[in-house]
A and B are shown apart, each in its own frame.
Chain A
Amino acid sequence: MPELLTLLLVFMIIAAILAIESEDLTSAVVSMGAVGFGLSVCFILLRAPEVALAQIVVEVVVLIVLLRGIVSVKPKTGPEKPDRTGLYLGVVLVGLLLVLSVYVAGEFPQLGEPSFARFPDSAGETYLKQGLALTGAANSVAAVLLDFRGLDSLGEVAVLFAALLGVMLLVRKNPRLEIKVEAESGPNGAPVEKGAAKVSEGEPK
């Protein structure tokens, strides 16, 4: 099992490097999809089926959204000069992180021995032992999400709602132009839609 996981992780790292370094934005987005789907296979191997399903759904949506983001991008005209400062800073910081991670990876608990098993009456163990009796849910993850930590889920939904409000504000047509046209069109508000469309078409590129 760890061998398969190692292979998948190497695949994911190669796909991540391709996604970051590739010149073409479409291939970068597709490589990121490879990382995400590899991640969901990792979740299945690590015995987390719900997380794997959620990851697949999210990854599909992410691919569609990002492809929508790059579909109208014009090809670059001039040669792009690389940002040297960011490159050097990136290399130095990542090297530092890797050196530190050698020590940190040694300090982690052994893979395959969950840390919750070492402490009696830890949260995870309590959820496993009493989840069925207290909540009636055979699935411990569902019991934790919807019952033991229901307020967390409420906060999550609030964050999702706020983010979607922000997206709706950002992706609609230019609000200032619409308001101006509405004010100009006067009481017979019928031509507002037409006028708004005309103005946004005539917007300078």
Chain B
Amino acid sequence: MIIYFLILLLFAVGLYGLLSQRNLVKLIISMSILECAADLLLIAAGWRANGSAPVIAAGQDAGQFALSSVDPLPQAMVLVSIAIGLALLLLLTAIALRLYHEYGTYDIGEIRRLRG
């Protein structure tokens, strides 16, 4: 229970950063922290106490394996999510760099002022 609450606290820290910060790099970092919390929540939901990694040993019975392993489905989904998170961060950083070259600042308030 305390684990779930701490993961949600991490999520809240990321959300706070996303809402309160004005620097584009800080916003990207907050987004990344949000992603970390979501991934960890999914993996924690599929964890089995004293379970094994979802890799079947040679000669192990499949039915026995299904009773002792952690859930492979959230792990597969989190793997996809991590790769997509990397693509998202690359795109966001490219946009931020482009904005920096155009306006000479990472501050979103400053960028809005310079545009008008």
Report whether A86 and B8 are in contact in the complex, using a CB–CB cutoff of 8 Å. Answer: no
In A125-148, which residues have CB < 8 Å from any B CB? 125, 127-133, 138-141, 143-145
Cross-chain pair count, CB within 8 angstroms: 281
Give the dominant DSSP class at A's interface: helix
Tally of contact residues, B, Cβ under 8 A: 85
Give the dominant DSSP class at B's interface: helix
Top 9 closest pairs, chain A to chain B, by CB: A112-B49, A90-B19, A163-B87, A20-B17, A101-B8, A140-B72, A90-B20, A140-B54, A128-B66
Question: Complex: how many Å from CA A62 to CA B45?
Answer: 26
Chain A residue numbers with a CB within 8 Å of B74 are 124
Report whether A6 and B2 are in contact in the complex, using a CB–CB cutoff of 8 Å. Answer: yes
Report whether A61 and B86 are in contact in the complex, using a CB–CB cutoff of 8 Å. Answer: yes
B94 touches which of A6, A83, A166 (Cβ 8 Å):
A166
Chain A residue numbers with a CB within 8 Å of B63 are 129
Q: Give the interface size class of chain A.
A: 35 or more
> What's the minimum C-beta distance from A113 to chain B, rounded to whole angstroms?
7
Report whether B76 and A145 are in contact in the complex, using a CB–CB cutoff of 8 Å. Answer: yes
> What's the minimum C-beta distance from B15 to chain A, rounded to whole angstroms?
6
In A53-68, which residues have CB < 8 Å from any B CB? 54-55, 58, 61-62, 65-66, 68
**Does B36 touch A at the CB level, under 8 Å?**
yes
State whether A66 and B40 are in contact (beta carbons under 8 Å apart), knowing that A9-B10, A51-B78, A98-B12 are contacts in the complex.
Answer: no
